[in-house]
């Protein structure tokens, strides 16, 4: 709720995520990606309301109380790499102390082995061991991001939520972080990654979910999304076309305000395929929410047969 009115930040988001699978959620800023992650962990503001069902490890997350979330979910069933790591690191404790505390809480590491285990956790996330005795305010944004990633990987939770985990990192560290998250997934755990970095998404994703104006508008296999036939939703195709290594062509216009969404397709005002039919809201059918999805060559042949 904002200013006395209800704003639907995320609507009708539906997907599953299997062990050993990486689903990457992409979309422009403000489309609801981080709100979705926060809802799963019970980290929304007190005036937020949720409805629906989200299950991990037999626990219904959206209806769970704070005690259940704190003791059974966060860190144990779901690990979080936060979008703003500095806000999640304890300012008065060193990174090494926080790693050791998390190891004590989530693992059976003997006290005498905590420092060695903390070093291993830091190295796993490419955090320099020489900085373990520093406090969060002594870290750059990129180092804080790597510290948060190290903390999130401790405990090997069956689901990892990584919200912009490569923010502030150079390309080499982006690739290294993405590869470590992929290894975490390949060991039989699930990963939901939120990112603007489509190169990182292409590197590790099994599936891509594209969000626009609070809704998932396309779910696609990553290989076909980044290759052939490519995305089916015009917005998703626009995201790829905006990349420097592709057309480097921006999507015209701006996303609508979530408090002032049109009755029909929220992307219609920016879409060159829009018709009068787009005045009605499209449902997510065949993994795409669009009245005029881009058809593959095979679909075009079938349509003209």
* Per-residue pLDDT at 227: 95
Helix, strand or coil, per DSSP, at residue 4: coil
Going from N- to C-terminal start, the domains of the chain cover 22-212, 230-304
Q: What is the pTM of this model?
A: 0.91
* Per-residue pLDDT at 169: 86
* Per-residue pLDDT at 298: 56
User: Under CATH, to which class is 22-212 assigned?
Assistant: alpha beta
Which helix (H) or strand (E) element contains residue 303? Answer: helix 297-304
First and final C-alpha spacing in the chain = 51
pLDDT in tens, the chain (305 residues): 555 678 889 998 999 999 999 999 999 988 999 999 999 999 999 889 999 999 999 999 999 999 999 999 999 999 999 888 877 899 999 999 999 999 999 999 999 999 999 999 999 999 999 999 999 999 998 899 999 999 999 999 999 999 999 888 889 989 989 998 999 899 999 999 999 999 999 999 999 999 999 999 999 999 999 999 999 999 999 999 999 999 999 999 999 998 889 999 999 999 999 999 999 999 999 999 999 999 865 565 555 55
* Per-residue pLDDT at 3: 56
Peptide bond into 18 cis (omega under 30): no
Q: Could you give the CA distance from residue 213 to residue 220 in angstroms, rounded to a whole number?
A: 18
Buried b (16+ CB within 10 A) or exposed e, 92-113: eebbbbbbbbbbeebeebeeee
* Per-residue pLDDT at 8: 87
């Amino acid at each position: 709720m904002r200013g006395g009115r209800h704003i639907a930040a995320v609507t009708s988001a539906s997907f599953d995520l299997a062990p050993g699978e990486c689903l990457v959620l992409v979309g422009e800023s403000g489309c609801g990606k981080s709100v979705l992650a926060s809802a799963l962990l019970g980290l929304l503001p007190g005036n937020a309301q949720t409805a629906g069902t989200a299950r991990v490890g037999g626990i219904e997350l959206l209806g769970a109380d704070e005690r259940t979330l704190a003791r059974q979910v966060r860190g144990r069933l779901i690990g979080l790499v936060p979008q703003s790591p500095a806000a999640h690191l304890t300012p008065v404790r060193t990174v090494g102390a926080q790693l050791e505390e998390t190891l004590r809480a989530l693992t059976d590491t003997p006290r005498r082995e905590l420092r060695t285990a903390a070093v291993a956790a830091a190295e796993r996330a490419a955090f320099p061991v020489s900085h373990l005795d520093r406090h969060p305010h002594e870290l750059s944004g990129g180092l804080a991001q790597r510290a948060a990633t190290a903390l999130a990987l401790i405990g090997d939770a069956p689901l990892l939520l990584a919200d912009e985990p490569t923010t502030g990192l150079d390309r080499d560290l982006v690739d290294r972080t993405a590869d470590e998250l992929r290894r975490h997934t390949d060991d039989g755990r699930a990963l939901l990654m939120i990112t603007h970095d489509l190169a990182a998404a292409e590197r590790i994703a099994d599936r891509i979910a594209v969000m626009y104006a609070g809704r998932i508008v396309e779910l696609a296999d990553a290989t076909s999304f980044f290759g052939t036939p490519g995305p089916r939703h015009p917005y998703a195709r626009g995201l790829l076309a905006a990349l420097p290594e592709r057309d480097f062509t921006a999507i015209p216009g701006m996303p609508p305000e979530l408090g002032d969404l049109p009755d029909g397709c929220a992307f219609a005002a920016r879409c060159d395929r829009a018709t009068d039919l787009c005045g009605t809201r499209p449902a997510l059918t065949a993994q795409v929410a669009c009245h005029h999805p881009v058809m593959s060559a095979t679909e075009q042949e079938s349509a003209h047969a």
